[in-house]
């Protein structure tokens, strides 16, 4: 390529090295992107000799030698030759190579390979790996939820500006497959990833200034949820950290669209549950809350909501489970009122089934659809929950976090609990049981009977389900 060809300087190459972030200009010549070679070699501390007049660069990597020649796309690596996407050029006295040089040539001989980001513009030199993130957005009528899934834990600084929220990642090597997620809905104008010498950040632009936002961190899953809402809601200036639970893993399991949710009002008929006050029992309150919840869910989530009972009726645990399993339901929530002998405590908790793993796990791993059906049929009844423990725990973590926020006075140290509950263990779907408050606490007896409080219980569950849904449901 003749000298004097116009070189255009576009966005930068970002190089992460030893906790620091460096930048090299991306040079574009006739629609081909080039990497400044000498500067890159200097970052790598590789000895080289170059001569523009002779038209060659020689690089030493340990005992290996790399030879490049001007205007040639063929590079000599020891005895071998490697073809690059574009010829090596000299423009404005600068040696330029196509970026595939890093992977095809340098990574062939370097003892420690350079990690290349998915866009091809980010390089990680030395030990470590990129924290890759995936961004997914779910739009609703009053709320858009943006899910940022990372591959490793990272500290994120949340900055709120006018009509936007910025999640800043410091100098952590972050890799995003896209710079612009090309996303737009009624509430969100754009989602862009900015990687510059001074900042690594995800910027979410809102449709207008009046929108509210809330950031929630799900530590155990390396997930940040950014909710953008039209209505004023309880907002916090810092991310709410939902306490990590050991043993909660991936969120990819069982993702599909929701069709059906079963809400179980605890107890009923002769099984009255805890006594709250004269002529008022747990079974009465759970039914009221279940009906309120159904009403709100039907108008927000827009899927079938079934109650295990709609009247004061006795039901066995098997009947409750069977109703949900045969629907089949995508989610199961059982509502109870707590009742324990600590008159000072009235916190609400979420319970997840405690199931011992199967001895022969190979029968659980069949992926073929027909075998999957068969295996569901033959999974011992009391072990149906086993496959859904991860998603149940994920739901419980989100729900406990919401309850800590609204029902437990902001006590975020409370975590969900595991219990060997027969009802939950036989359910083949994400399933949790809620113990609301404490029926033996005198003040709570009034509270649980207050329609306002019952509404806030229902709204808390709905908020949690919307978050869980955005994690688990395919768009």
Residues at the contact surface with Zn ion, assessed by CB under 5 A? 266, 273, 336
CB of 289 to Zn ion, least distance (A): 12
Task: Compute CA distances 233 → 210, 211, 430, whole Å.
Answer: 12, 10, 27
CB of 284 to Zn ion, least distance (A): 12
CB of 352 to Zn ion, least distance (A): 16
CB of 290 to Zn ion, least distance (A): 12
The nearer residue to Zn ion, 117 or 273, going by C-beta atoms, is 273
CB of 135 to Zn ion, least distance (A): 40
The nearer residue to Zn ion, 266 or 430, going by C-beta atoms, is 266
DSSP helix, strand, coil percent of the chain (3-state; round to 5): 25, 35, 40
The nearer residue to Zn ion, 159 or 277, going by C-beta atoms, is 277
Instruction: Give the separation between CA 92 and CA 429, rounded to whole angstroms.
Output: 64
Angle at 19 between CA 122 and CA 130, to 5 degrees: 40
CB of 211 to Zn ion, least distance (A): 40
CB of 311 to Zn ion, least distance (A): 18
Chain-centroid distance of CA 35 in Å reads 34
The nearer residue to Zn ion, 117 or 266, going by C-beta atoms, is 266
Q: Name the closest residue to Zn ion (Cβ).
A: 336
432: left (phi over 0), alpha (psi -120 to 50) or beta: beta
CB of 143 to Zn ion, least distance (A): 32
| Nearest to 437, CA basis, from 240, 253, 306, 286 | 286
Q: Are 437 and 444 in contact (CB under 8 A)?
A: yes
Lay out the sheet containing 94-97: strands in order across: 89-91, 94-97, 32-36, 20-29, 8-17, 122-125, 115-116
Instruction: Give the separation between CA 378 and CA 358, rounded to whole angstroms.
Output: 13
The nearer residue to Zn ion, 268 or 273, going by C-beta atoms, is 273
The nearer residue to Zn ion, 173 or 273, going by C-beta atoms, is 273
Instruction: Give the separation between CA 423 and CA 334, rounded to whole angstroms.
Output: 9
The nearer residue to Zn ion, 242 or 407, going by C-beta atoms, is 407
The nearer residue to Zn ion, 187 or 274, going by C-beta atoms, is 274
Task: Compute CA distances 275 → 280, 337, 439, whole Å.
Answer: 6, 10, 7
């Amino acid at each position: 390529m003749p000298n004097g060809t116009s070189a255009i300087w576009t966005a930068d190459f970002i190089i992460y090295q030893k906790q620091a972030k460096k930048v090299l200009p991306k040079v574009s010549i006739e629609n081909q992107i080039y990497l400044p070679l000498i500067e890159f070699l200097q970052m790598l501390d590789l000895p080289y000799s170059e001569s523009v007049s002779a038209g060659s660069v020689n690089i030493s990597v340990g005992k290996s030698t790399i030879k490049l020649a001007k205007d040639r796309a063929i590079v000599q690596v020891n005895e071998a030759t490697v073809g690059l996407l574009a010829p090596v050029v000299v423009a404005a006295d600068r040696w330029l190579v196509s970026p595939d040089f890093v992977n095809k040539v340098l990574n062939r001989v370097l003892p420690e390979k350079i990690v290349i980001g998915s866009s091809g513009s980010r390089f990680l030199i030395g030990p470590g790996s990129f924290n890759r993130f995936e961004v997914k957005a779910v739009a609703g009528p009053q709320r858009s939820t943006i899910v940022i899934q990372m591959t490793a834990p990272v500290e994120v600084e949340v900055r709120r500006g006018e009509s936007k929220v910025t999640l800043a990642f410091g100098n952590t090597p972050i890799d995003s497959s896209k710079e612009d997620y090309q996303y737009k809905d009624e509430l969100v104008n754009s989602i862009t990833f900015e990687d510059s010498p001074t900042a690594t950040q995800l910027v979410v632009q809102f449709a207008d200034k009046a929108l509210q936002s809330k950031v929630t961190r799900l530590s155990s899953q390396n997930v940040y949820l950014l909710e953008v809402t039209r209505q004023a809601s309880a907002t916090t200036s810092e991310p709410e950290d939902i306490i990590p639970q050991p043993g909660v893993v991936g969120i990819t399991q069982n993702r599909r669209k929701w069709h059906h949710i079963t809400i179980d009002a605890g107890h009923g008929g002769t099984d009255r549950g805890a006594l709250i006050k004269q002529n008022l029992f747990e079974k009465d309150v759970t039914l009221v809350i279940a009906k309120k919840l159904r009403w709100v869910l039907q108008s927000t989530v827009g899927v079938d909501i079934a109650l295990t009972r709609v009247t004061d009726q006795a039901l066995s645990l098997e009947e409750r489970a069977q109703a949900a399993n045969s629907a089949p339901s995508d989610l199961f929530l059982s509502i109870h009122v707590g009742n324990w002998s600590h008159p000072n405590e009235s916190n609400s908790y979420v319970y997840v089934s405690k199931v011992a793993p199967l001895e022969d796990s190979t029968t659980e791993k069949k992926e073929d659809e027909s075998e999957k059906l068969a295996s569901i049929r033959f999974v011992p009844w009391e072990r149906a929950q086993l496959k859904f423990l991860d998603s149940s725990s994920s739901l419980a973590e989100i729900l406990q976090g919401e309850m800590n926020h609204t029902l437990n006075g902001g006590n975020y140290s409370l975590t969900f609990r595991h219990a060997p509950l027969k009802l939950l263990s036989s359910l083949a779907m994400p399933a949790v049981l809620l113990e609301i408050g404490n029926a033996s606490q005198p003040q709570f007896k009034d509270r649980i009977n207050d329609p306002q409080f019952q509404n806030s219980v229902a709204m808390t569950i709905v908020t949690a389900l919307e978050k869980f849904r955005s994690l688990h449901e395919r768009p």
